[in-house]
Structure 1
Amino acid sequence: MTAITRDSVELLAPAGNWECMKAAVANGADAIFFGVEKFNARARADNFQMDNLPEIMAYLHMYGVKGYLTFNILVFENEMEDARELIDACMNAGVDAVIVQDFGLVKAIREMSPDFPIHGSTQMTITSPEAVEFASQYGMEIVVLGRENNLKQIRTIAGKTNTPLEVFVHGALCVSYSGQCLTSEMWGGRSANRGECAQACRLPYDLMVDGEQKEMGNVAYLLSPKDLAAIDLIPDLIEAGISSFKIEGRMKTPEYVANVVSKYRRAIDAYFEGKDYTPSDSEVRELQQSFSRGFTHGFLEGTNNKKLVDGTFPKSRGVYLGTVKKVLKDAVLCDLEAPLKRGDGIVFDAGNPQEKEEGGRVYDLRKNGRKIEGEVEHGQIEIVPGRHDVKLRRVQVGDKIWKTNDPELDRRLRKTFETDHPYRLFPLAVNVRGQEGAPLTAEWIDENTGNHVIVTSEMNLEKAMKRPLSQDYLAEQWGRLGGTIYELHTLDMELAGEVIVPVKELNHMRRDAVEQLMEQRRKPRVYARKEAGVQQVAAQTHVHAQHDPELIALCRTIEQVRAASAADVEYVYADFEFTRDYPAAVQIAHDHGKRIALATPRIHMPGENGVLNSIVKAGPDAILVRNLGALSYYRQAEISLPLFGDFSLNVANHKTAEVFAENGLTWITPSYDLNIQQMVDMLAVADTSRMELVIHQHLPMFHTEHCVYCTFLSEGTDYTNCGRPCESHRVSLQDRIGMSHPVRVDIGCRNTVYNAIEQSGAEYLPNFLELGIRRYRVEFLEEDADQVHDVLRLYREALIGKRSGTSVWRALKATNQLGVTRGQLIK
């Protein structure tokens, strides 16, 4: 781990538009992350245009702030040229780094430039030292860890790498691991891996336990986490080895950005100044006011399922004021718990956030019927809402009251960035030399950047008859730097004799020096470029497999393994909740003369290498690798078993496939984000002899550290005290249209929510066969032995030409109680 110093620690702020960028700069951000019109994970943000890049970077660099472009999505095959165009524009503009999810894009960037900085996005699902090492081999400048890593794990990771690490410290939390959420893709063709998350985690669900609905009262938002607020953990995070502190919020307001950045700036500065800093109650309320679903430390202090999700509402509430004690004719009586004043926005929360809620502006405040001026901090207060804002007949005793808006706070925050004056001043040092009969020479040094310029007077110095140049006089003239980003710090003067030059000449020298120094600040960074000929031509990589089509069955129970092993398949995969059952699965497959691969967990955390070792010891014929950490670990261990790459590695273009082939994967499974056209585009240029397609499955939508079983079926907080309800119950989440989506637990107590309806790509088999795909996987979830046998028979008959893919589709639709879907393939 490299030493953490004040200069190496970075506060990274979001900017969805120019106002947010200015708010971040004005309030002390060291760096900004922003997106352009496409290729970023906030497609619905205002975003910037590619043509804005030079202006953006000149502005940021003028204030000594770095600018990182978010390229944190998967890149489809037909977008690679546009992606290269954007990277080229970034290099021309001097963008300080791009934040990347797609390893194919990483490869493409390295083919363009050996030194253009790349940051590994949290979308890469990097959660272990081994995963950091995998990313670091591509020269990444910084890696963003998963939001599920706790402080202990962060220390472990930092202690095993010299790659700087970044974590999120404030803002909305995804309930699913970033880069591993397929819910929006499944239900609406709006992929979270493409910046189009539909926030399915913020929807209400009924909890179904063993097929029966569990009564949950007003708890309906079972997957909607509170918001992250780790301001009080800044010292712990610095000491754990974190270099960059990231604030979420490219779709938030500039007031939010100003508010959050200023407070985290204070916390970081206090640590390096040796001061104890704990945000005051009023500061916490201000953070809540800008945006809050309730605050949590997330997973930073370890897993506490009870604290992560409230479950009663999915949206920002603001500051809690109290509950309604009595409804009066024109007001409500409240035992106030937080400050309130006229003009503030309020909402009445009856516990049904999906319905229209009463709310508006505070018109007056009264105590015992008498009007109160100014702000009231606490006590029994009558709140008088605007007559046209709130229908008091719909407000009930016991309703919670929240302050949703504070206009005075917003005005104060806007003043920080709506100003004609520079947001920050930088010190200048000036060294002056001269003698009679020669020009006056001054070296101007920008002490912040080290840039320096030399300016000389156009007139020679003359002998002074009255008032010769003095150091104080020069400091006065050259200290007139109002309206610039500079202030005079030191002036060193060495003049021979008593000389003078006209004041207009001094003013001209000052303006010239400042203009040159500003120009140096605005100059874009320069990166090394490789010749275009180094870049590979996509069409040259296509290779067709020559052997007959193979059928693989992925099983999640011993019964399924036994049925699949007796069927006409070339390979069996086992993906069990508890890896203790893997040896039995291997034995069954081998008894039937079948080869078997065992699946790793989808996530790899520090301290979990024992699980990876147990998979090897179970004696499989291959391992199905689902994360970067496991791939890196097995390669370091130099195991002799073949490694197969699963969908969770997010292969969406031929270059990503090349990256994983180069890293030792025998078979590679494309991402579930691809629709049929995107799949065809990729397979047309990829090495299809190494591709394996999942043709039938229940799509794994959410994959989360948050355990539904522990939260709602246990009094415990995590796996150490939950009593393991997952071993005796089966839970599913029933959505608004009555579909029940199964929830399964893995060895790490992580939950996967599977789509209720099976997905089949049977109709597209002719397309895939023509493109050279020879390995097809059928995945099972809850099917019994007969169903396993029947489904595998259908697909085998299709692969040998005995029936059409459409016939398979019809047969599945006829026999499946919920039918069957084409899923994301048709979007």
Structure 2
Amino acid sequence: MKKIVEILAPAGSFESMKAAVAAGADAVYIGGSRFGARAFAENPGEDKLLEAIDYVHLHGRKLYLTVNTLMKEQEMKELFEYLLPYYRQGLDAVIVQDLGVLSFVREHFPDLPIHASTQMTITGVYGAGLLKELGAERVVTARELSLKEIRQIHQQVDVEIESFVHGALCYCYSGQCLFSSLIGGRSGNRGRCAQTCRLPFDVKDKGKTLGKKEERYCLSLKDLSTLDLIPDMIEAGVYSMKIEGRMKSPRYTAGVVSIYRKYADLYLEKGRNGYKVEDGDRKVLLDLFDRGGQTDGYYKKHNGRDMIVWKEKPSFREGNNQLFDMLDREYVDKQLKVAVSGKIFLSEGEKASLTLASQEHRIVIEGDLVMTALNQPMSEEKVLKQLNKTGNTPFLFENLEAEINGNVFVPVQALNELRRRGLEELEAEILREYKREYPQNEVSGEGNNVLKIPVSEPAKLTVSLEKPECFDAVVCNPDVYRLYIEAAHFESERWSQYVNVCHEKGKECYLTMPHIFRTEAQLFFDRHQNYLKEAGFDGFLIRSMEEPGYLKKTGIRGNLVFDFGVYGMNNQAQKMLKNLGADEITWPVELNSRELEKLEIPGELLIYGRLPMMVTAQCIHQGMERCDKTPVELNLKDRMGKEFPVRNHCVFCYNSIYNSAPLSLLGLSDTVSSLSPASLRLQFTTEGPGETETIIKAFSDEFLRGKKAEMNLPEFTRGHFKRGIE
């Protein structure tokens, strides 16, 4: 039995959409005028997008709308009116990142399929299963997943799997990047990534520059190209093979789609034994776009130096004009037609009749009365020649017959009118099955009133620690209510001791789960499950959609605090997080104070700490030196002289790249207090014990005792607390 595979193409414009369809794409994904993760693509307006939906349906394809950005509370009120016309037109699915959007679509458009974006950072069975329960019929896996991990999802969760097969790779796990956001206010979570990772950086180790002088593009990944892996991907359970490139040209889209169409079909027809990739096709893909080589990505390895570009992209490459001309001729400029079969019946004294059939649709339309010819009767050849002139219509006759009885005469204008009406009716008939009605009791979105849940007592101070050597400085401080200790760096054998000391000091102790929960994390916690159960943690800081499911399955109990990277940017998203088991929520770090006011559920507010700007499967230490399973702290130095600390969390095999300056809301206690947060968090990453103690005292004085506090930080940032993001 042949497997079914979908070739999914990017469409940053109407022209790219047409090129993708012409080249053989089964479906395209495209953004509208708002809420898409490529805000700077030539996204079509409403009229053009409605036309695009009809276009793909006429050609038997599908169109998915990207609504895959995080939504602010005020934007949720606009979502219904935005989606309604596309829903009515027959939109095939929406791709979403925001849990509030997912909930909204399920409620207001229950029969509209939902695809969970790669921005949701789905890395395993638990996250995929959760989204399936929430109503997603498809999960777009994180680009970093291995074929083995994808196969596990396919075998254990009844959900369609969509995975990237070609195009640009992000250095960071999608949905976990704040680099562009914190540097320039252009958030990747809002479709405005400035691609900071494509810039040069020096890697520093205690002031010494590592690596070769010409190898400064350490965050710039090669483009993904998986022609050799197509059999493996299909057999692992990948249904939709996704091509990246909504910012690319129609020519690029057509070229890449045509090649992946060719090889998917080759495997489906001849199987693994008959599958072989031609070197000429590899060259075509490089001729279409070459950043510095290609990689088959993470499907068979966790990371690697050979996946990085390292050197600057050449400023000029001679184009393959012969290839470009062919792509323009065959796909970009070619008007794709829908095949139609037709038969016209002409008999003296009866109405002309035209039967048209296409894609299992059949219509019959009648015209004027057929007259008797006074002189020369109309021949079958003349009738068919006239009807075959389909011109600018989307149709082309592949078969046309005429049945003529008697000496007939029909004016050319009447034949033209019959053909025009027939093709219009056929088009309407084909599209009719896609159209939807919406009940008359339409809604306009969520209400405007913010019903803030009151906080019964003053905000308490919590502290998050990465370094065990800072524990004593924190646990002895009477102002600290709760400690979060990092699972990656606090030895599991001593978890019980840390918890006991906290309890002796009258404090809660929570375990900070990893940012990324994949095979390494599951194996780690499986091995240390006894330590985890014996420790008796009061709760867990949840940083991945996978973790609640894992803890539930293993029977480990405790309060769950969802961190800011499990996004609750709007009230509907926050309610979803509560429904998923969140006892407490960390407020998003990309909202400003005015936007935080609109959130109904009091959350924990980060008031100090270096924000993780990237969470990566790649390892700077490995790329510059070696993989010795030893956590180290390096620094990335950018062109402006800013240095960003980098830590490798070897237990879970991922890196964190932190902001060059810590967030500090010292001096803004009045504004913070007006927001009524449930708790205030100090987050320590690179600080030593003495610095940690000094910072806690300053923030305690101001935020708990109302004293004027001063602290000589060499550099700090207000983050997005004042400026927010677009």
Return the TM-score normalized by structure 1: 0.79
Q: Could you list the per-position Cα deviations for residues 423-473 of structure 1 after superposition, in whole angstroms to 9, with x for gaps in the alignment?
A: 244353x588999976565653322xx33222235437999x999999x99
Residue 238 of structure 1 and its aligned partner are, at CA, apart by 1.4
Indicate if the aligned counterparts of 1:17 and 1:47 stay in contact, CA closer than 8 A: yes
- Segments of structure 2 that go 5 or more residues without pairing to the other structure are none
Alignment-derived partner of residue 826 in structure 1: 722
- Partner residue, 2:582: 665
- Deviation for aligned residue 1:784: 2.4
Q: Is the 8 A contact 1:104 1:657 kept in 2?
A: yes
CA distance in 2, matches of 1:589, 1:226: 47
**What are the residue-to-residue correspondences of 1:229-378 with 2, within 5 Å?**
229-274=225-270, 276-293=274-291, 294-313=293-312, 315=313, 317=314
Distance in structure 1 (CA, Å) of the matches to 2:125 and 2:693: 41
In 1, the alpha carbon distance for the partners of 2:400 and 2:158 equals 40
Q: In structure 2, the residue corresponding to 1:68 is in which secondary structure? A: strand
Check if 1:598 corresponds to 2:598.
Answer: no
Q: Displacement, 1:712? A: 1.5
Which stretch shows the higher mean deviation, 693-702 or 473-482? 473-482
CA distance in structure 2 between the partners assigned to 1:490 and 1:404 by the alignment: 45
Structure 2 vs 1, CA of residues 51 and 676 (structure 1 numbering), >3 Å: closer, same or farther?
Answer: farther
Q: Deviations over 1:34-85 (max 9, x none)?
A: 2233322122222222343322222332323322221111111222222332
Distance in 2 between residues matched to 1:274 and 1:58, nearest whole Å? 34
Q: CA deviation at 1:639?
A: 4.1
Corresponding letter in the other structure for 2:538: D
Task: Name the CA shift for 1:482/1:736 in 2 (closer, same or farther; >3 Å).
Answer: closer
- The question of whether the paired residues in 2 share the 8 Å contact of 1:647 and 1:670 is answered with yes
CA RMSD in angstroms comes to 3.1
The residue type paired with residue 247 of structure 2 is M
Letter aligned with residue 310 of structure 2:
G
Q: CA offsets per residue over residues 65-118 of structure 1, 9 Å max, x none?
A: 322221111111222222332122322333222211111111222232211222
| Counterpart-to-counterpart distance in 1, 2:116 and 2:596 | 25
1:558 to 468, 490, 504: 468
Match status 1:519 vs 2:519? no
Give the conservation status (yes or no) of the 8 Å contact 1:635–1:664. Answer: no
Q: Match of 1:824, as an amino acid? A: H
Deviation at 1:224, TM superposition (A): 0.9
Specify the code of the residue in structure 2 equivalent to 1:548. P
Which residues in structure 2 correspond to 1:747-762 (within 5 Å)?
747-762=651-666
Q: Is the 8 A contact 1:544 1:771 kept in 2?
A: no
Among 793, 800, 812, which residue is 2:697 paired with?
A: 793
CA drift of 1:516 comes to 0.9
Alpha-carbon distance, 1:562 to partner: 2.3
Counterpart AA for 1:299: Y
Q: Tell me what 2:481 maps to.
A: 570
| Bigger mean CA offset, 593-602 vs 779-788 | 779-788
- Do the aligned partners of 2:487 and 2:514 also contact (CA within 8 Å) in 1? no
Going from structure 1 to structure 2, the CA distance change for 1:526 and 1:764 (only over 3 Å counts) comes to farther
761-770 vs 562-571, which moves further: 761-770
Q: Which residue of 602, 621, 627 corresponds with 2:544?
A: 627
Distance apart, 1:525 and its partner CA: 2.5
- Find the aligned partners of 2:687 and 2:106 in 1 and give their Cα distance: 45
Structure 2 residue 606 is matched with structure 1 residue 694: yes
Which residue does the alignment assign to 1:451? Answer: 361
Change (3 A) 1:645 1:527: farther
Task: Measure, in 2, the Cα distance between the counterparts of 1:478 and 1:141.
Answer: 44
In the alignment, is residue 415 of structure 1 matched against residue 332 of structure 2? Answer: no
Q: Residues 27 and 262 of structure 1 are in contact (CA less than 8 Å); yes or no, is this contact kept in structure 2?
A: yes
The 10-residue stretch of structure 1 (187-196 or 453-462) with the greater mean CA deviation from structure 2: 453-462
Q: Which amino acid aligns with 2:483?
A: V
Note the C-alpha offset of 1:511: 3.9
Deviations 1:733-787 (A, max 9, x none): 2222333322112222100011121111233332232232130110111222222
Matches for 1:68-217 after TM superposition, within 5 Å: 68-217=64-213
1:374-401 CA-partner distances (Å, limit 9, x unpaired): xxxxxxxxxxxxxxxxxxxxxxxxxxxx
Distance 1:696 1:231, change over 3 A: same
CA distance in 1, matches of 2:43, 2:194: 18
Aligned pair in 2 of structure 1 residues 705, 564: CA closer, same or farther (>3 Å)? same
Tell me how far apart the structure 2 counterparts of residues 130 and 531 of structure 1 sit (CA, whole Å). 37
With over 3 angstroms needed to count, the CA separation of the structure-2 counterparts of 1:657 and 1:114, relative to structure 1, is same
| Closer, same or farther: CA 110–304 of 1 in aligned 2, 3 Å | closer
CA apart distance, 1:418: 4.9
Unaligned runs of 5+ in 1: 318-346, 348-358, 360-402, 715-721
Residues 607 and 713 of structure 1: is their aligned pair in 2 closer, same or farther, counting only changes over 3 Å? closer
- Deviation of 1:608 after TM superposition, in Å, equals 3.9
Task: Provide the C-alpha distance between the structure 1 equivalents of 2:446 and 2:76, rounded to a whole number of angstroms.
Answer: 12
Give, in whole Å, the separation in 1 of the partners of 2:277 and 2:680. Answer: 56
User: How far apart, in 2, do the equivalents of 1:676 and 1:242 lie?
Assistant: 42
SS at match of 2:219: coil
Secondary structure of the residue aligned to 2:565 is: helix
* Residues 267/482 of structure 1: CA separation in 2 closer, same or farther (3 Å cut): farther
Contact 1:742 1:753 in 2 (8 A): yes
- CA distance 1:303–1:607, change in 2 (3 Å): closer
CA distance in 2, matches of 1:33, 1:418: 17
Compute the displacement of 1:500 (Å). Answer: 7.1
Q: Does 1:586 align with 2:499?
A: yes
Contact 2:386 2:415 in 1 (8 A): yes
CA distance in 2, matches of 1:517, 1:78: 42
1:723 aligns with 2:628: yes
1:586-644 deviation per Cα after TM superposition (whole angstroms, max 9, x unaligned) = 24323433211101111122574344554742421101111111123334555431111
Once the two structures are TM-superposed, the CA of residue 565 in structure 1 deviates from its matched residue by 1.3
In 2, the alpha carbon distance for the partners of 1:587 and 1:77 equals 41
Measure, in 2, the Cα distance between the counterparts of 1:412 and 1:44. 28
Q: How many Å apart are 1:679 and its aligned residue?
A: 2.3
Alpha-carbon distance change, 821 to 744 in structure 1, aligned in 2, over 3 angstroms:
same
Q: Which moved more, 1:454-463 or 1:755-764?
A: 454-463
> 1:482, 1:81 → 2: CA distance?
44
SS of the counterpart of 1:264? Answer: helix
Output the amino acid matched with 1:407: N
- Residue 226 of structure 1 and its aligned partner are, at CA, apart by 0.5
Letter aligned with residue 239 of structure 2: S
Distance (Å, rounded) in 2 between the aligned partners of 1:768 and 1:520: 59
Deviation for aligned residue 1:179: 0.4
- Which letter does structure 1 place at the counterpart of 2:722? I
Displacement after TM superposition at 1:251 (Å): 1.3
Inter-partner Cα distance in structure 1 for 2:62 and 2:384: 32
AA at the equivalent of 1:739 = K
Q: Is the 8 A contact 2:126 2:545 kept in 1?
A: yes
Q: SS at the partner of 1:743?
A: strand
CA contact (8 A) 2:510 2:537 kept: yes
Aligned residue for 2:9?
Answer: 13
Match of 1:764 among 668, 672, 677: 668
What does residue 426 of structure 1 align with?
A: 339
On the 8 A contact 1:701/1:752 being kept in 2, the answer is yes
Q: Deviations over 1:634-691 (max 9, x none)?
A: 34555431111001112211111111011110110122222233223x33xx122xx1
- Residue 537 of structure 1 is matched in structure 2 by 447
Alpha carbons 1:431, 1:491 under 8 Å: kept: yes
- What is the DSSP-based 3-state SS (H/G/I as helix, E as strand, rest coil) of the residue aligned with 2:270? coil
User: What is the CA deviation profile of residues 548-575 of structure 1, one whole-angstrom value per residue up to 9, with x for unaligned ones?
Assistant: 2210010112222222111121111011
